[in-house]
Structure 1
Amino acid sequence: MAKIASVDKQSLLQYFVILILLRDAWCMFGNKLYRQKEVNYRQEEKKILDSVLGVDVYDKRIRPSGLNSTESATLVDVNIFIRSFSNIDDVKMEYSFQITLRQQWNDGRLQFKNRLRGMEDKIRYLTMTDAAKVWMPDTFFRNEKIGRFHNILQSNLYVRVFPNGDVLYSIRVSLTCACSMHLALFPLDKQTCNLDVASYGWTMNDLIYRWKETNPVQMVANLSLPGGFKLDGFGNQNCDVKTATGAYSCLRVELTFARQLSFFIVTIYVPCFMIVVVSWFSFWIDHKAVPARVSLGVTTLLAMSTTQASINSSLPPVAYTKAIDVWSGVCVTFVFGALLEYALVNYASRSDAQRLAKQKEAKERELEHAAFSADRIEEGGFPMSMDPLMRRIEGAPMVPPGALLQPEIPVHRRHNRFFDYFRNIQFRAKMIDVISRVLFPVTFMFFNVIYWSYYLTQESETSKVK
Structure 2
Amino acid sequence: MTYFMKLRWHDDRFLRSDSVDPDNNYITVYGTDSDWTKLWLPDIFMVNEIPAGIFDVVPTDFIRIYENGTLTISRRHVALFYCAIRLFKVPMTDEICPIQFQSNSYTVDEMDLVWFGGSSIVYSVDFFSMNSKVTSTDTSKCSGGASTAKERRPCLKLDLNISQVYKGFVIQVYLPGGAIVIMLWLGFFIHLNEVSARVRVVSIGFTAMITQMVGVMIVFPDTVQLEPLLVWNTFCLCMNLIAFIEFIVVHNMYITRELWKKQNKEIIVSSPRITQVQPINDATDDATAPTKRPPYRITPYRMDKICMVLFMFTFLIFNVAYWSTFMLA
Q: TM-score range by the shorter chain?
A: 0.7 to 0.9
Looking at structure 2, the residues matched to 189 and 435 of structure 1 have their Cα atoms a distance apart, in angstroms, of 38
Cα separation, partners in 2 of 1:265 and 1:108, compared to 1, 3 Å: same
Task: Establish whether residue 293 from structure 1 lines up as the match of residue 164 from structure 2.
Answer: no
Task: Quote how far apart the aligned CAs of 1:215 are.
Answer: 1.8
Task: Quote how far apart the aligned CAs of 1:207 are.
Answer: 0.8
Task: Quote how far apart the aligned CAs of 1:128 are.
Answer: 2.7
**% identity of equivalent residues:** 20
Cα separation, partners in 2 of 1:228 and 1:350, compared to 1, 3 Å: same
Specify the alignment match of 2:114 in structure 1: 210
Task: Quote how far apart the aligned CAs of 1:243 are.
Answer: 5.7
Specify the alignment match of 1:334 in structure 2: 239
CA contact (8 A) 2:188 2:304 kept: yes
Pairing 1:256-267 to 2, within 5 Å after superposition: 256-267=161-172
Looking at structure 1, the residues matched to 43 and 222 of structure 2 have their Cα atoms a distance apart, in angstroms, of 35
Residue number among 97, 106, 113 corresponding to 1:193 in the alignment: 97
Task: Establish whether residue 348 from structure 1 lines up as the match of residue 262 from structure 2.
Answer: no
Residue number among 306, 313, 319 corresponding to 1:448 in the alignment: 319
Task: Quote how far apart the aligned CAs of 1:354 are.
Answer: 4.8
SS of equivalent to 1:179: coil
Task: Quote how far apart the aligned CAs of 1:301 are.
Answer: 2.0
- Per-residue Cα deviation, 1:212-237 (whole angstroms, up to 9, x for no partner): 232222223x2332343211332112
Looking at structure 1, the residues matched to 226 and 133 of structure 2 have their Cα atoms a distance apart, in angstroms, of 24
Looking at structure 1, the residues matched to 66 and 138 of structure 2 have their Cα atoms a distance apart, in angstroms, of 29
- Per-residue Cα deviation, 1:271-313 (whole angstroms, up to 9, x for no partner): 1111111112221111111221122222222322333344457
Cα separation, partners in 2 of 1:196 and 1:321, compared to 1, 3 Å: closer
Residue number among 277, 280, 283 corresponding to 1:363 in the alignment: 277
- Per-residue Cα deviation, 1:319-340 (whole angstroms, up to 9, x for no partner): x871111101111111221111
Task: Establish whether residue 283 from structure 1 lines up as the match of residue 188 from structure 2.
Answer: yes
Specify the alignment match of 1:219 in structure 2: 123
TM-score under structure 1 length normalisation: 0.56
CA contact (8 A) 2:253 2:300 kept: yes
Looking at structure 2, the residues matched to 219 and 321 of structure 1 have their Cα atoms a distance apart, in angstroms, of 27
Specify the alignment match of 1:304 in structure 2: 209
Residue number among 163, 166, 171 corresponding to 2:74 in the alignment: 171
Task: Establish whether residue 124 from structure 1 lines up as the match of residue 31 from structure 2.
Answer: no
Task: Quote how far apart the aligned CAs of 1:191 are.
Answer: 4.7
SS of equivalent to 2:42: coil
Cα separation, partners in 2 of 1:235 and 1:199, compared to 1, 3 Å: same
- Per-residue Cα deviation, 1:81-123 (whole angstroms, up to 9, x for no partner): xxxxxxxxxxxxxxx22223232x333444334x14xx44x97
Looking at structure 1, the residues matched to 197 and 142 of structure 2 have their Cα atoms a distance apart, in angstroms, of 64
| Rg larger in structure | 1
Pairing 1:129-140 to 2, within 5 Å after superposition: 129=29, 135-140=40-45
- Over the residues paired in the alignment, what is the CA RMSD in angstroms? 3.3
SS of equivalent to 2:107: coil
SS of equivalent to 1:288: coil
CA contact (8 A) 1:349 1:427 kept: no
Looking at structure 1, the residues matched to 202 and 57 of structure 2 have their Cα atoms a distance apart, in angstroms, of 57
Specify the alignment match of 1:101 in structure 2: 6
Looking at structure 1, the residues matched to 63 and 201 of structure 2 have their Cα atoms a distance apart, in angstroms, of 67
Looking at structure 2, the residues matched to 365 and 275 of structure 1 have their Cα atoms a distance apart, in angstroms, of 46
Task: Establish whether residue 249 from structure 1 lines up as the match of residue 154 from structure 2.
Answer: yes
CA contact (8 A) 1:352 1:427 kept: no
Looking at structure 2, the residues matched to 216 and 316 of structure 1 have their Cα atoms a distance apart, in angstroms, of 28
CA contact (8 A) 2:14 2:65 kept: no
CA contact (8 A) 1:198 1:248 kept: yes
Looking at structure 1, the residues matched to 190 and 118 of structure 2 have their Cα atoms a distance apart, in angstroms, of 70
Structure 2 alignment gaps of length 5 or more: 31-35, 268-275, 284-296
Looking at structure 2, the residues matched to 97 and 188 of structure 1 have their Cα atoms a distance apart, in angstroms, of 27
CA contact (8 A) 1:181 1:191 kept: no
Looking at structure 2, the residues matched to 196 and 321 of structure 1 have their Cα atoms a distance apart, in angstroms, of 24
Task: Quote how far apart the aligned CAs of 1:262 are.
Answer: 0.6
Task: Quote how far apart the aligned CAs of 1:351 are.
Answer: 3.7
Count the aligned residue pairs.
296
CA contact (8 A) 1:204 1:248 kept: yes
CA contact (8 A) 2:130 2:165 kept: no
Specify the alignment match of 1:69 in structure 2: none
CA contact (8 A) 1:232 1:256 kept: yes
Cα separation, partners in 2 of 1:123 and 1:215, compared to 1, 3 Å: closer
Looking at structure 2, the residues matched to 124 and 176 of structure 1 have their Cα atoms a distance apart, in angstroms, of 32
TM-score under structure 2 length normalisation: 0.76
Task: Establish whether residue 141 from structure 1 lines up as the match of residue 46 from structure 2.
Answer: yes
Task: Quote how far apart the aligned CAs of 1:186 are.
Answer: 4.3
- Per-residue Cα deviation, 1:20-71 (whole angstroms, up to 9, x for no partner): xxxxxxxxxxxxxxxxxxxxxxxxxxxxxxxxxxxxxxxxxxxxxxxxxxxx
Q: Which sits farther off after the overlay, 193-202 or 280-289?
A: 193-202
Amino acid of the structure 2 residue aligned with 1:170: I
Cα separation, partners in 2 of 1:432 and 1:185, compared to 1, 3 Å: same
Task: Quote how far apart the aligned CAs of 1:317 are.
Answer: 10
